[in-house]
């Protein structure tokens, strides 16, 4: 392949992204900068966080520059290298973009991976990648669950949520999941072993509160929050004293210019709850430990991993939008070149 | 005195309380119930939390029943007793009401105090009472400040806020206060030793953020939150990574039926901050330690305490409203009988 297809952000989305916010262009394959590498991307991770990076808003990473490829974690092979630690042909996970070839400079992130150790290289973007690490460290290092506690997971049928719930069960928690639609709820119980599943769709605040309360009669000790908005506002009314909320994501807010936030913040005080802002990158130095534990559970058949692999960079927009339409279950991954 | 004047809640306030929400009535002096006491109240604490108890809303205490006296911490003398641990004539602090005489049953809270140890008995409702304990445990036990950290206090000229700021200085923090109006801001600097004071009045979000940022160039490590709403929303944009927010009160919300909450909850995630819902009653078993330390600082002249003592139960409404008009500085206390 002598060309580099690139899926560019050309306009900041106003609310829900539309196709015209992006442009698929073809450029020459780049050369590595001094000390850097060029990665031939095979898989890219599609994540709600990318929606946040499209806004011109203060966050934990700079906005994606207009005219640049949509930033993404990618898995690929070193194509050209001016970095003595990364040889041509080496599989790496890196922070690149939705494009055939990503340039990663000497300050960028690119780390070797051993694809002989996994069923599919894409596992490094799911259970052994940031999704798995997010579930592992968010639950274990932040929430510090104890056996017998009740864990409530929102966005529970998603990649992170389903892993969090399964880890919670392995640690002896009672696990309740909130998801959208009866199919997803059935999967929580049948595929992931949750103790209870609640369908938030079409439910008002009171109904949600009473359904969670019925599933958690002693109150919720831990919330693993992926959703935010009205779902979160219902959750806080079910918290036991001293509950911990791991604030991992707010997918309900990413496409809405008007932010709901948490109108009933008072309940956090009244219930002496704690909200922990959590970003998995803070735990990067411990990823070895996390990967080893997740790989062990995986090998023992104790962890079920779903990957929703969509094919072709040309389908990047449709694939990305599966995150927000509720269409995807499991980790959403884009196979950059459908023929690979 | 053979009659019991009682300041009753007769209607739940819709937003800001109005005089017709209350009624001052005269009833016979009650007799103690089995195992309980009757307290002759001399001082009552007026606190923002009382506004919350007036609503029919889920909180950490049941709503004040309509037709009952407004619940309050009071300081007084045992008038009649069926409790062998509390003799007639003993000074006690208790959870009673805005009334001359409060009945406290065997399950209620009434604890002896030694008024010979203080300059004024009212100190037990301020620096040695829940205000002082709130400042002490909220800052020391929840936020765990380290010398050199930057502490931001909202409602800083209030009773809790001014104590928090002074304790922060004693612990070696850089202390910034937010208050309403130039007079209060001057007091923060001149009377309480804050390093910087910011007047929030008439400032929009951007101005507040830039003023706080200018005063805290390395970011804010600890927020002691008494106010909520737009002030808090500005604060979160100034947080350093891993900042701790002690959520102690939300006075900007108590009178507003529409709750703003925290619309930029996302910033808590992006900055890996933690919000700790805090109620001082959880630390009741450690109050002895807290009182001893506060009394020591007080005796050493290291802690300046202001009490705003209003006189007469008949003035309860006007006195209470000082909390919300911004009129009061220091701990607001009602001397129940002006002639005492």
First and final C-alpha spacing in chain A: 12
Contacts of B282 in chain A (CB under 8 A): 272
Identify whether A290 is part of a domain.
no
- Mean pLDDT in residue range A112-125: 88
B338: confidence class by pLDDT, cuts 50, 70, 90: low
Identify whether A296 is part of a domain.
no
More reliable by pLDDT, A261 or A340: A261
pLDDT for residue B113 is more than 50: yes
Q: Chain A: give the shortest CA distance to residue B109, in Å.
A: 19
Let me know the angle formed at the C-alpha of B154 by B149 and B155, rounded to the nearest 5 degrees.
140
Distance CA B209, CA A247 (A): 23
- Specify whether B142 is located in the same domain as B75: no
- Specify whether B270 is located in the same domain as B171: yes
Let me know the angle formed at the C-alpha of B50 by B48 and B56, rounded to the nearest 5 degrees.
120
pLDDT for position B236:
97
Distance CA B182, CA B170 (A): 25
- Mean pLDDT in residue range A309-331: 90
List the single residue in A52, A237, A277 with the smallest CB-CB distance to B273: A277
**A260/B263 Cβ within 8 A:** yes
Chain A contact for B206 (CB, 8 A cutoff): no
**A270/B59 Cβ within 8 A:** yes
Average pLDDT over chain B reads: 94
pLDDT for residue A339 is more than 60: no
Task: DSSP letter for B237, please.
Answer: G
- Mean pLDDT in residue range A255-283: 92
pLDDT for residue A40 is more than 80: yes
Distance CA B256, CA A210 (A): 26
Domain range for A70 = 3-126+306-335
Identify whether B109 is part of a domain.
yes
Q: Chain B: give the shortest CA distance to residue A256, in Å.
A: 12
- Specify whether A139 is located in the same domain as A121: no
Whether the predicted interface score ipTM is above 0.95:
no
Q: Chain B: give the shortest CA distance to residue A267, in Å.
A: 7
pLDDT for position A1:
65
- Mean pLDDT in residue range B130-157: 97
More reliable by pLDDT, B238 or B288: B238
Average pLDDT over chain A reads: 94
Identify whether B202 is part of a domain.
yes
**Buried b or exposed e, range A38-50, using 16+ CB within 10 angstroms:** bbbbbbbbbbbbb
**A270/B277 Cβ within 8 A:** yes
Percentage of residues in chain A with pLDDT exceeding 90?
81
pLDDT for residue A154 is more than 60: yes
**A277/B272 Cβ within 8 A:** yes
- Specify whether B143 is located in the same domain as B24: no
pLDDT for residue A56 is more than 50: yes
Distance CA A201, CA A170 (A): 28
Identify whether B288 is part of a domain.
no
pLDDT digits (tens, 9 = 90+) for B200-216: 999 999 999 999 999 99
pLDDT for position B64:
97
Report the number of distinct structural domains present in chain B.
2
Residue among B84, B106, B108 at smallest CA distance from B94: B108
Task: DSSP letter for A41, please.
Answer: E
Chain A contact for B224 (CB, 8 A cutoff): no
Chain A contact for B272 (CB, 8 A cutoff): yes
CATH of the domain at A327: 3.90.180.10
Chosen for mutation from A265, A272, A282 (greatest number of chain B CBs closer than 10 Å) is A265
Residue among B132, B142, B165 at smallest CA distance from B47: B132
Chain B contact for A145 (CB, 8 A cutoff): no
pLDDT for residue B130 is more than 60: yes
CATH of the domain at A204: 3.40.50.720
- Specify whether A140 is located in the same domain as A270: yes
Chain B contact for A271 (CB, 8 A cutoff): yes
- Specify whether A144 is located in the same domain as A276: yes
pLDDT for position A340:
44
- Specify whether B67 is located in the same domain as B163: no
**Continuous segment of H or E residues that includes residue A222:** strand A220-225
pLDDT for position B340:
44
- Specify whether A215 is located in the same domain as A268: yes
Identify whether A174 is part of a domain.
yes
**A253/B275 Cβ within 8 A:** no
Q: Chain B: give the shortest CA distance to residue A237, in Å.
A: 9
pLDDT digits (tens, 9 = 90+) for B184-204: 999 999 999 999 999 999 999
- Specify whether B70 is located in the same domain as B153: no
- Specify whether A202 is located in the same domain as A63: no
CA distances from A303 to A158, A232, B148 (A): 14, 26, 45
Chain A contact for B265 (CB, 8 A cutoff): yes
- Mean pLDDT in residue range A254-282: 91
Chosen for mutation from B225, B228, B265 (greatest number of chain A CBs closer than 10 Å) is B265
- Mean pLDDT in residue range A128-156: 96
Determine the residue of chain B that is closest to A53 in CA distance.
B270
More reliable by pLDDT, A299 or A334: A334
- Specify whether B105 is located in the same domain as B137: no
More reliable by pLDDT, B221 or B260: B221
Chain A contact for B296 (CB, 8 A cutoff): no
Chain A contact for B205 (CB, 8 A cutoff): no
Q: Chain A: give the shortest CA distance to residue B271, in Å.
A: 7
- Within 10 angstroms of residue A10's Cβ, the number of other Cβ atoms is 12
**B263/A261 Cβ within 8 A:** yes
Tally of CA atoms within 13 A in the half-sphere of B288 that contains its CB: 3
Chain B contact for A205 (CB, 8 A cutoff): no
Distance CA A336, CA B25 (A): 78
**A277/B268 Cβ within 8 A:** yes
Chain A contact for B257 (CB, 8 A cutoff): no
**B265/A261 Cβ within 8 A:** yes
pLDDT digits (tens, 9 = 90+) for B275-287: 999 999 999 899 9
Taken in order B219, B225, B227, B232, is the CA torsion positive or negative?
A: positive
Range in A198-212, B124-138, B246-260 the model is least confident about: B246-260
- Mean pLDDT in residue range B296-300: 88
Identify whether B301 is part of a domain.
no
List the single residue in A60, A261, A275 with the smallest CB-CB distance to B270: A60
**A268/B275 Cβ within 8 A:** yes
- Specify whether A111 is located in the same domain as A248: no
Chain A contact for B274 (CB, 8 A cutoff): yes
pLDDT for position B339:
55
Long-range contacts of B48-55 (CB under 8 A, 24+ apart): B48/B249, B48/B251, B48/B254, B48/B323, B48/B324, B49/B249, B50/B320, B51/B13, B51/B17, B51/B254, B51/B255, B51/B323, B51/B324, B52/A266, B52/B254, B54/B9, B54/B12, B54/B13, B54/B17, B54/B21, B55/B12, B55/B13
pLDDT for residue A272 is more than 70: yes
Residues sharing a CB contact under 8 Å with residue A297, sequence separation 6 or more, in sequence order: A167, A170, A303
pLDDT for residue A9 is more than 80: yes
Distance CA B88, CA B79 (A): 5
**B58/A237 Cβ within 8 A:** yes
A2: confidence class by pLDDT, cuts 50, 70, 90: confident
Torsion of CA B168, A242, A234, B267, to 10 degrees: 40
Residue among B159, B204, B163, B176 at smallest CA distance from B330: B159
A338: confidence class by pLDDT, cuts 50, 70, 90: low
Which single residue is written with the structure tokens 């009071």? B74
More reliable by pLDDT, A111 or B175: B175
Identify whether A263 is part of a domain.
yes
**A266/B263 Cβ within 8 A:** no
**B263/A277 Cβ within 8 A:** no
* A196 touches A338 (CB < 8 A): no
Torsion of CA B324, B326, B328, B332, to 10 degrees: 20
Q: Chain B: give the shortest CA distance to residue A164, in Å.
A: 18
Chain B contact for A59 (CB, 8 A cutoff): yes
List the single residue in A265, A268, A278 with the smallest CB-CB distance to B272: A278
């Amino acid at each position: 392949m002598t060309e580099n297809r690139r899926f560019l952000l050309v306009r900041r989305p106003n609310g829900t992204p539309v196709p015209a916010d992006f442009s698929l262009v073809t450029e020459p394959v780049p050369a590595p900068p001094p000390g850097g590498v060029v990665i031939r991307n095979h898989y890219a991770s599609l994540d709600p966080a990318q929606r946040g990076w499209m806004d011109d808003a203060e966050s934990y990473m700079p906005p994606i520059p207009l005219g640049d490829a949509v930033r993404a974690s990618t898995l690929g092979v070193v194509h050209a290298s001016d970095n003595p630690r990364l040889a041509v042909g080496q599989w790496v996970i890196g922070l690149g973009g939705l494009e055939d070839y990503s340039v990663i400079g000497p300050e960028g992130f690119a780390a070797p991976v051993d694809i002989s150790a996994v069923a599919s290289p894409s596992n490094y973007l799911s259970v052994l990648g940031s999704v798995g690490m997010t579930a592992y460290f968010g639950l274990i290092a932040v929430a510090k669950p104890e056996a017998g506690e009740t864990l409530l997971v929102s966005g529970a049928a998603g990649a992170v949520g389903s892993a969090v719930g399964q880890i919670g069960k392995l640690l002896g928690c009672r696990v309740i999941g909130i998801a959208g639609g009866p199919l997803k709820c059935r999967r929580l119980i049948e595929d992931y072993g949750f103790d209870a599943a609640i369908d938030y769709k079409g439910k008002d605040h009171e109904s949600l509160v009473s359904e969670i309360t019925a599933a958690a009669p002693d109150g919720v000790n831990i919330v693993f929050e992926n959703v935010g908005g009205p779902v979160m506002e219902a959750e806080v009314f079910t918290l036991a004293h001293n509950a911990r909320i791991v604030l991992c994501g707010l997918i309900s807010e990413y496409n809405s210019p008007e932010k709901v936030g948490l109108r009933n913040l008072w309940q956090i005080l009244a219930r002496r709850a704690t909200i922990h802002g959590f970003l998995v990158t803070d735990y990067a130095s411990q990823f070895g430990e996390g990967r080893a534990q997740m790989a062990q559970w995986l090998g023992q058949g104790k962890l079920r991993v779903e990957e929703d692999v969509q094919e072709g960079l040309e389908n990047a927009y449709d694939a990305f939008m599966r995150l927000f339409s509720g269409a995807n279950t499991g980790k959403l991954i884009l196979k950059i070149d459908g023929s690979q």
